[in-house]
Structure 1
Amino acid sequence: MTSITSSSYAVHFNKNAYTLLNEHLSKANYSKIFILVDENTHNCCLAPFMSEIHGDYNFEVIEIEAGEINKNIATCTQVWEVLSELDADRKSLMINVGGGVVTDLGGFVASTFKRGIDFINVPTTLLAMVDASVGGKTGVDLGSLKNQVGVINQPEMVLVVSSFLRTLEKRQMQSGFAEMLKHGLIKDKNYWNELKALDSLEAIDQLIYHSVTIKNEVVLQDPTEQNIRKILNYGHTLGHAVESYYLDHPTYDLLLHGEAIAIGMILEGYISHKLTGLPKEELADIKATFLSNYPKVSFNTEDIEAILKLLKFDKKNSHGNINFVLLNAIGTPEIDVKVAQELLEESFAYYKD
């Protein structure tokens, strides 16, 4: 597969990714190379990744605990301290081998340690391959509030190696699939139709490539999310609130990112139908597609009230307004739409019916 070039880096695929990584390492003369993993990628991905690196380099492996619950400043502090203890300097490199938690947190740690060291992302989940590791967003959660602290900073390169997907359970694959479906909804109706007709996620390389291409095209137009890049947040305003609520709830099981965003896309689809003209049949298509791929979640009145209160923390907000990305039609988004409280509540009623 041909590499996808962004503003200051490229996304490389499969065997070519390792070839270009080795070329980069041979030329860059890094003082030390730190590889950030969590316990899952340490066990399943680190050995095959290291076996593809040729050359005599000074490697150190740093392991963090897996899961969104550990994507916080406390974990960053631990990694910063390890980097300092192991004599990392400004000519060091961090390679983040993992899902979105590892690439988001590792990118943020690298971007801030000694005011910034180089980093490379090696996403090992479908979600990270098509979303988290591409576009330069780095950061961590503040308590249960998603991605409240971070910076936009580009990696040296992103390496997408689809063989890592063999290590994932079906639920994790489905989580990433939600973001791919989103790419169809915001940019490409034909892609949406292709994805919803899939029988399985086995032959997925070309689909990953298409999703990365869509995201890259959007990011190139608006690297710092001043306008058009906001379309990538379709489903995320309510979806992130749902995800945060479940992350912090003492008795509910956690929802994966894609599971929460799938709910958000149904809710914001309903709002789109009411406010921006999304046709009724396309709304029904969106709801049916997500409910056929993701288990339905039951919300009571107390849950809904608490979720809606979390909207004030959404990153797209400005001047006290909660700004939504909605759809005029599948493939045609609209940004910065304000939504009345009653309509937000109605959207949950639509989801539940």
Structure 2
Amino acid sequence: MNSPLPPPGAPLQHYVSTAPFDPKSVEVMTKEQERVYQASQLRLMWWKFRRHRLALASGVFLLALYLMILICEFLAPYNLHTRNMDFIHAPPQPVHLFHDGQFVGPFVYGRQMTLNMDKLKREYSDDRNMIQPIRFFCRGDKYRFWGLFESDLHLVCPAKGGELFLLGTDRLGRDVLSRIIYGARISLTIGLVGITFSFLLGIVIGGLAGYHGGVFDLIVQRVIEVLQSIPSIPLWMALAAIMPITWSPILIYFGITVILGLLDWTGLARAVRSKLLALREEDYVLAAQLMGARGSRIIRRHLIPGFMSHLIATATISIPGMILGETALSFLGLGLRAPITSWGILLTEARSVSVIAFYPWLLFPMIPVILVILAFNFLGDGLRDAADPYR
């Protein structure tokens, strides 16, 4: 039983409880309570995150995409530069399982091309007498896996002597699906590399400005205001246009990454500064200062973990912003250049309204861009809620 309370006005230092201790009065936690109280912070975050079903599904989707870019040569039915000159601007081929009521398995019908002289357009029709089974784990176009060794093993291949264009072909007869798979490697990694560069600048500059203040904080705020006052698209175009045309595709890739990182750090730096201005007055910061801790250690070990949920949400929002930035620059012809392939470069095929009207499948690279951006936003919502210590 609990000890009785002292009478009103009785001095606490003279009050001694004479009630015997009863072990049965101690409340015993259940196994579920022990599991929660003994769990680490990461485990608690995971339990909260997996309750957000949409964020969990988005995380699985993005993880599958990033694993896919490791083996995109194996997943693509054709090589990146394979041309099928007999099937220029061919529409997508639907996959069938049954032919005349009989189960055949996954296959496509062969194609016949006729030239419409009235519309000056190639027209394709299915030849139902040509059944072309889809092969799996087969030998096809040769490629160099990550530029290290040659191979010709593919997950999906057309029938021998046939064709397989599940998303159609472009103006050079190249398979759109294969080029989308190859383009994912550049479009997805440029967001990760760019956000890493942006976070380093934003956290370091914003952290120093918010923790120390003074003249450095004043200069940083004026620089941020100037950069944020310039329209994004013209600034991207100006910075991308100054890159020499003689640069190799790899240098162009890193140049675009640096440009996107330089323009994205301002928002994060301002958010970090405002958070540190509020947290630096806390008692634990004063205690760390009295113990002789340096400013960089206080920012890294004590202040930044206090608003990690905000940083996570900012990262998951900034990555799709950088993907859109690269897509916009490449679409305008100022970003990445051939032979590098990204989703933005693929969308340059659909610049003309007439091209879209005749060949709408050239807009298919827009679909993974939309899905990836939505997935990052949903994932950011789930991670923010899971990492928020006040929820």
TM-score relative to the length of structure 1: 0.23
Higher-Rg structure is 2
Higher relative contact order (CA 8 A, sep 6+): 2
TM-score relative to the length of structure 2: 0.21
